[in-house]
């Protein structure tokens, strides 16, 4: 059976990045050909180490991991230990990885693999977009070589989370995000409008804990840190948004968005209160979003609201990966 | 009986400005002590002439009208004849006014009246905020002299209308809006989030036309131009948003907002795609909007959705103004 998608996952692992990776790794029909890391939730080196830990937990030490950008296009790097824990994975002490990252930097890996497999690769970016912007600089023809780009990031009719206007992935590198969204490839943007409506709860956590495999026990454990942040700062109860896992599920076709118009999207790269905002033209919302000349970004505004059930199902019930076992 | 409010209405008359004025003028308990005009829907001089026409239609030629800013803080002036007609009032040929504007400029009138009546005046601003910003420059103590400021403007969780991010009143003078929202007076901001949900329809128009007074016939007539714009560009049917009348009704307490948190609001005054956006911090939306230090702007996010009924009731059924008849 042909795989659903051949992915390079670009991430800043991170609690929800880990859940997204596990979600994808539990599907034998998804081919993750590499993971690249970027600063964001945590520094890029720790993100690579965390990614290797998660891959080994899932029995997939064979997937290459490449370290990418350690700071943004303008030289900044901001991490979020208050969200993801000091180690980026809820301080859960997974064993140190046995494998090491590749020596090839992330952007070079992306550009090389795209050139070797024209029209095949799907880039799933769930961190700041610095690696993708760098890859575009390395190979201006990259947009023609990539099948699709799915991005977790931005906020359209929903408030930001890093600032009142900006979502964290975009806020961490607005200049890179602007380049990536302006490039001529087909993009699906999964902003907070969708991810904040897909909430994983204590019921899901209990189910994961009780199922009791190493993967589900780990997933339940990292949610403790995540729920703590969300309870105090966002939702007021012990639940959390499924940011990166939702983008992963949309990328591989498991979740079909309920509302996802193709509209023009720009990023605010100024120094004002809107810096990092994704300015999407959704003025057509009352008229079923008439076509916009030149628009090539599909913006997911609504999904069904029960994705966390699917996430828990996948971690608990899906067969172990069958194609490649380390 | 004491008046509900003593208002200075600052406007760019304008179809919905005219409806807001008529709505207020039909309430004998509301005291409009002056109207000031600003560029926006139309130039400031025509806005004054249109205001005088509307006042005379309502038998209130006694209300002084002062002309204000003819361009924005940065020297620009953009009009909207495609929305409001070449004359700003749907090309309906109301008779030329018999009265003339005052020689006193708008900002000076606002500052003088505020000084003469400390703690009494409610400023209702339904155009670009240039006159209010100028009045603040004339008298830095103005915020302590004004009872309240109600502004139709901005967009928070709703797209803009002038640009994807910015509503027209704020977009027309972001620098002025930023000053006005930063000043230390209590402000109620009525953005598109609320006004776009309060729609006046062909049923209301029919009722106004059939009621057959000069006021209701005029109101029905100007809606033709407005419906034409909204049908083609916004809603796809012959209805329109009650922008300025809703702000008027909120200012005098006729409409109590369903959701109106007090939050910090800044305005994007940069040159990027977010220029003119009202960046309001509504990240507390999942936790009943916890208090924010220093916030003094009440942002109306939701109203009941049936305000156009009240607007039509008022124009058709309310007694004629009793206190002062010209």
Query: Is there a contact between A207 and A309 (Cβ–Cβ < 8 Å)?
Result: no
- For residue A124, the cross-strand partners are A9, A150
Query: Is there a contact between A279 and A268 (Cβ–Cβ < 8 Å)?
Result: yes
Contact B268 A271 (CB under 8 A): no
Contact A165 B236 (CB under 8 A): no
DSSP summary character for residue B270: S
The pLDDT, as a whole number, for residue A325 is 36
Nearest one of B315, B248, B300, B250 to B9, comparing CA atoms: B248
Model ipTM over 0.95: no
Alpha helix locations (H) across chain A?
15-25, 44-57, 81-84, 106-116, 130-138, 142-145, 168-172, 174-182, 192-195, 202-211, 214-233, 243-251, 307-317
Query: Is there a contact between A251 and A6 (Cβ–Cβ < 8 Å)?
Result: no
The pLDDT, as a whole number, for residue A253 is 97
- Return the domain boundaries, chain B: 5-317
Choice among B84, B122, B204, B243 that is catalytic: B243
Contact B268 A272 (CB under 8 A): yes
The pLDDT, as a whole number, for residue B58 is 96
Contact A234 B287 (CB under 8 A): yes
Q: For the residues A16-22, what does the mean pLDDT come to?
A: 98
The C-alpha atoms of residue B7 and residue B224 are separated, in whole angstroms, by 29
Report, in angstroms and rounded to the nearest whole number, the Rg of chain A calculated over CA atoms: 18
The length of chain A in residues reads 326
- Å between A166 CA and nearest CA of chain B: 10
Q: How many CB atoms lie within 10 A of CB A270?
A: 19
Query: Is there a contact between A299 and A156 (Cβ–Cβ < 8 Å)?
Result: yes
Query: Is there a contact between A55 and A33 (Cβ–Cβ < 8 Å)?
Result: no
Q: For the residues A46-61, what does the mean pLDDT come to?
A: 97
Report, in angstroms and rounded to the nearest whole number, the Rg of chain B calculated over CA atoms: 18
- 3-state secondary structure (DSSP) of residue A157: coil
- Å between A240 CA and nearest CA of chain B: 12
The minimal CB distance from B285 to the residues A159, A281, A283 is found for: A159
The percent of residues in chain A predicted with pLDDT above 90, rounded, is 94
Q: Output B220-225 pairs: Cβ under 8 A, ≥24 positions apart.
A: B221/B90, B221/B92, B222/B15, B222/B18, B222/B19, B222/B85, B222/B89, B222/B90, B222/B92, B223/B15, B223/B90, B224/B90, B225/B15, B225/B84, B225/B85, B225/B90, B225/B91, B225/B92
Token pair in block for residue B301: 């996010």
For residue B323, is pLDDT > 90?
no
Between B324 and B245, where is the model more confident? B245
Contact B274 A279 (CB under 8 A): yes
List pLDDT tens digits, range B118-146: 999 999 999 999 999 999 999 999 999 99
Query: Is there a contact between B254 and B260 (Cβ–Cβ < 8 Å)?
Result: no
Sign of CA dihedral A108, A113, A119, A121: negative
Q: From chain A, which residues contact B within 8 Å (Cβ)?
A: 157-161, 164-165, 234-236, 264, 266-274, 277, 279-283, 285-287
Contacts of A277 in chain B (CB under 8 A): 165, 274, 277, 279
List pLDDT tens digits, range B251-310: 999 999 999 999 999 999 999 999 999 999 999 999 999 999 999 999 999 999 999 999
Instruction: List the CATH code of the domain at B5-317.
Output: 3.90.245.10
Residue A319 — pLDDT band, cuts 50, 70, 90?
Answer: low
The pLDDT, as a whole number, for residue A317 is 76
Q: For the residues B150-154, what does the mean pLDDT come to?
A: 98
The C-alpha atoms of residue B257 and residue B303 are separated, in whole angstroms, by 5
Residue A103's alpha-carbon distances to A13, A73, A97, A134, B76, in angstroms, are: 19, 22, 16, 17, 55
The residue of chain A nearest to residue B264, with distances taken between CA atoms, is A164
- Å between B277 CA and nearest CA of chain A: 8
For residue B321, is pLDDT > 60?
no
Nearest one of A259, A310, A257, A250 to A286, comparing CA atoms: A259
Q: How many CB atoms lie within 10 A of CB A2?
A: 7
Contacts of A279 in chain B (CB under 8 A): 164-165, 272-274, 277
The C-alpha atoms of residue A301 and residue A278 are separated, in whole angstroms, by 13
Q: From chain B, which residues contact A within 8 Å (Cβ)?
A: 157-161, 164-165, 234-236, 264, 266-274, 277, 279-283, 285-287
Burial of B52 (0-12, 13-18, 19+ CB in 10 A): buried
Residue B3 — pLDDT band, cuts 50, 70, 90?
Answer: low
Contact B164 A285 (CB under 8 A): no
The pLDDT, as a whole number, for residue B98 is 96
Strand order in the sheet with B121-125: B65-67, B30-37, B5-11, B121-125, B148-152, B187-190, B297-299, B262-263
Q: For the residues B207-227, what does the mean pLDDT come to?
A: 97
The minimal CB distance from A268 to the residues B264, B272, B281 is found for: B272
Backbone angles phi, psi at B238, to 5 degrees: -85, 80
Token pair in block for residue B43: 């130039």
List pLDDT tens digits, range B17-74: 999 999 999 999 999 999 999 999 999 999 999 999 999 999 999 999 999 999 999 9
Nearest one of A222, A230, A253, A249 to A309, comparing CA atoms: A249
- For residue A93, the cross-strand partners are none
Query: Is there a contact between A70 and A43 (Cβ–Cβ < 8 Å)?
Result: yes
Residue B325 — pLDDT band, cuts 50, 70, 90?
Answer: very low
Contact A268 B268 (CB under 8 A): yes
Burial of A256 (0-12, 13-18, 19+ CB in 10 A): exposed
Burial of B98 (0-12, 13-18, 19+ CB in 10 A): exposed
A84 carries an active-site annotation: no
**Half-sphere exposure (CA, 13 Å, Cβ side) for A219?**
37
Q: For the residues B104-115, what does the mean pLDDT come to?
A: 98
Nearest one of B80, B49, B76 to B65, comparing CA atoms: B49
For residue A144, is pLDDT > 50?
yes
List pLDDT tens digits, range A162-205: 999 999 999 999 999 999 999 999 999 999 999 999 999 999 99
Contact B235 A286 (CB under 8 A): yes
Residue A31 — pLDDT band, cuts 50, 70, 90?
Answer: very high
The C-alpha atoms of residue B286 and residue B39 are separated, in whole angstroms, by 39
- Å between B158 CA and nearest CA of chain A: 6
List pLDDT tens digits, range A238-274: 999 999 999 999 999 999 999 999 999 999 999 999 9
């Amino acid at each position: 059976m042909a795989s659903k998608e051949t992915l390079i996952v670009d991430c800043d692992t991170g609690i929800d990045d880990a859940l997204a990776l596990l979600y994808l790794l539990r599907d034998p029909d998804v081919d993750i050909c590499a993971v690249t890391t970027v600063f964001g939730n945590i520094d890029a080196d720790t993100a690579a180490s965390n990614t290797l830990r998660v891959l080994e937990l899932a029995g997939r030490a064979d997937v290459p991991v490449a370290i990418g950008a350690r700071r943004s296009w303008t030289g900044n790097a901001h991490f979020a230990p208050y969200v993801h824990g000091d180690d980026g994975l809820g301080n859960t002490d997974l064993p140190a990885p046995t494998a090491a990252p590749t020596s090839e930097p992330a952007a070079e890996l992306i550009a090389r693999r795209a050139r070797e497999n024209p029209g095949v690769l799907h880039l799933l970016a769930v961190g700041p977009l610095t690696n993708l912007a760098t890859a575009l600089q390395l190979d201006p023809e990259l947009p023609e070589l990539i099948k699709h780009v799915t991005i977790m990031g931005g906020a359209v009719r929903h408030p930001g989370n890093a600032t009142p206007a900006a979502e964290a992935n975009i806020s961490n590198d607005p200049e890179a995000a602007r380049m990536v969204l302006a490039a001529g490839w087909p993009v699906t943007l999964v902003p907070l409008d969708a991810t904040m409506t897909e909430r994983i709860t204590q019921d899901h956590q209990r189910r994961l804990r009780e199922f009791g495999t190493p993967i589900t026990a780990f997933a339940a454990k990292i949610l403790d840190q995540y729920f703590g942040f969300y309870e105090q700062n966002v939702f007021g109860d012990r639940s959390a948004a499924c940011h990166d896992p939702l983008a992963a599920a949309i990328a591989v076709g498991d979740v079909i968005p309920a509302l996802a118009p193709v509209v023009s999207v720009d990023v605010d790269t100024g120094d004002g209160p809107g810096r990092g905002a994704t300015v999407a033209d959704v003025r057509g919302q009352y008229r079923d979003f008439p076509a916009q000349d030149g628009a090539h970004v599909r913006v997911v505004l609504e999904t069904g609201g029960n994705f966390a059930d699917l996430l828990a199902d996948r971690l608990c019930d899906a067969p172990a990966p069958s194609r490649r076992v380390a």
